[in-house]
Amino acid sequence: MSVAALARLRPTRAHVDLDRVVANWRALETFARLPLVAVVKADAYGHGAEAVARALEAAGCGRFAVALPEEGAALRAAGVVGEILVLAGFWPGQVPLLRDARLVPVVSNAETLRAALAAGAELRVHVKVDTGMTRLGFDAGELVPAADALRAAGIEVAGAMTHLASADEDAAPTAIQLDRFDEALAALRAAGHAVPLAHAANSAGLAFLRPTHTLARPGLLLYGVPPRPLAPDVAVRPALRLVTCVAQLRDVAPGAAVSYGGRFVAQRASRIATLPIGYADGVPRANTGRGAFAIGGRRVPVAGTVCMDLTLVDVTDCPDVREGDEVEVMGGAGPSAWELADWAGTNAWQALTAIGSRVPRVHEAGGTAAAVGSRY
Ligand SMILES: *Cc1c(COP(=O)(O)O)cnc(C)c1O
């Protein structure tokens, strides 16, 4: 969609600063002293995967990771030429998708091994070992036989990986996982597998890199949001601002009930602003009666129940607020992804991926809106 066509849509948008994503990527590569696999699954954590991947690729990034084959195929169709790793498994019916889009799947269990073997030599894969996450991955004893079977079928085992369960919370179990990963790499090499690529680090894991690692796979930090409580000491800046505007102002008398269920009752003569953004757009419904957004740099508290399409805020203490004023719901002077998440009892990953598909993504580069991603 063109930037001009945005005028046809309600003024609720996610502004995504692609220059910041690129700057974050550079800062993280410098910190890690390794090439990065840019994790752009779940529509690049709500930022718009195609625009983000194309901007990173233009800046020199050569590797991307998605969760699903269909996410990878969409990136390929959008013109991404770099390597696209598929992290979260695939199903037999998806093998043609992997092949046609030249994706690199992660083989992580008997099912994906069987599907890869059936696909034959046209695939290049990474293998995954479970070192303590207990989710996807071969047990240590299954890894070498799986790699042997792939090699026997003419399938290149280009890399090996594991995933860290607690790098954002606790260094001790992380060290144990990384020791197990080093042992798995040694076993693969002892069995004659070159395994040129090895990677374990997500965003938090960047603080725990080992000499055996050749790549790292940050997601959250790429978008400028540090994991919590543990994060590597690297300066990044948030790339996304979720904004809307004041659609209507209402002056109400003490005792007036506001929104579904009357959960907010005015304690004084109050001014309530209606915002055209709701839980279908990414404001957690759990923010009902909690949290605050920013208008003109000042925080205005959420009043009452967050609705599907609309949210109400109490602007009584900001008498100069006018209909049409911009409201920052996440980012900028508004709450950070973590603040919004804390009010809703969730995490920053979910706050970002919850931004609804009906919210247009305005991609900015060089200080201007360069492109708009919108389903309408
Ligand atoms: C999502 C994901 C990542 C990125 O995690 P962040 O914490 O966002 O950096 C890395 N590796 C795998 C396997 C993932 O699923």
- Residues 121-146 have a mean pLDDT of 96
Instruction: Decide: 220 in ligand 1 pocket, CB within 6 A.
Output: yes
Centre of ligand 1 to C-alpha 2, Å, is 32
Say yes or no to pLDDT of 121 above 90: no
- pLDDT band per the 50, 70, 90 thresholds, residue 372: very high
- Residues 171-181 have a mean pLDDT of 98
* pLDDT value at residue 32: 98
- pLDDT band per the 50, 70, 90 thresholds, residue 176: very high
* pLDDT value at residue 163: 98
Q: Which positions are annotated as active-site residues?
A: 41, 260
* pLDDT value at residue 96: 93
Say yes or no to pLDDT of 346 above 90: yes
The residue whose C-alpha atom lies closest to atom 15 belonging to ligand 1 is 87
* pLDDT value at residue 239: 98
Does domain 18-222 match CATH 3.90.470.10? no
Say yes or no to pLDDT of 312 above 90: yes
- Residues 277-299 have a mean pLDDT of 97
- Looking at ligand 1, which atom is closest to the CA of residue 106? 13
Structure tokens at 253: 């008398």
- pLDDT band per the 50, 70, 90 thresholds, residue 259: very high
Q: What is the DSSP letter of 216?
A: B
* pLDDT value at residue 46: 98
> How do the domains of the chain map onto residue ranges?
18-222, 240-373
* pLDDT value at residue 1: 85
Centre of ligand 1 to C-alpha 219, Å, is 6
* pLDDT value at residue 343: 97
Centre of ligand 1 to C-alpha 11, Å, is 32
* Angle 183-220-77 from CA coordinates, rounded to 5°: 95
- Residues 37-57 have a mean pLDDT of 98
Average pLDDT of the chain is 97
What is the dihedral angle through the alpha carbons of 167, 173, 178, 183, rounded to the nearest 10 degrees? -160
How far, CA to CA in Å, does 41 sit from each of 25, 179, 210, 260, 312? 16, 27, 25, 35, 32
- Looking at ligand 1, which atom is closest to the CA of residue 168? 7
- Looking at ligand 1, which atom is closest to the CA of residue 136? 13
* Mutate-to-test residue for ligand 1 from 34, 39, 135, 220, highest number of ligand atoms within 8 A of CB: 39
Does domain 240-373 match CATH 2.40.37.10? yes
Pick the closest to residue 355 from 46, 2, 127, 35 (CA basis). Answer: 46
Give one DSSP letter per residue of 279-305, joined into a string. TTTT--GGGTT--EEEETTEEEEB-S-
The residue whose C-alpha atom lies closest to atom 10 belonging to ligand 1 is 202
Say yes or no to pLDDT of 370 above 90: no
For 282, other C-beta atoms within 10 Å of its C-beta total 24
Instruction: Decide: 97 in ligand 1 pocket, CB within 6 A.
Output: no
Instruction: Decide: 136 in ligand 1 pocket, CB within 6 A.
Output: no
- Looking at ligand 1, which atom is closest to the CA of residue 37? 10
- Residues 243-272 have a mean pLDDT of 98
* pLDDT value at residue 120: 85
Model confidence over 182-238: pLDDT tens digits? 999 999 999 999 999 999 999 999 999 999 999 999 999 999 999 999 999 999 999
- Residues 313-321 have a mean pLDDT of 98
- State the Cα–Cα distance between residues 287 and 301, nearest whole angstrom: 10
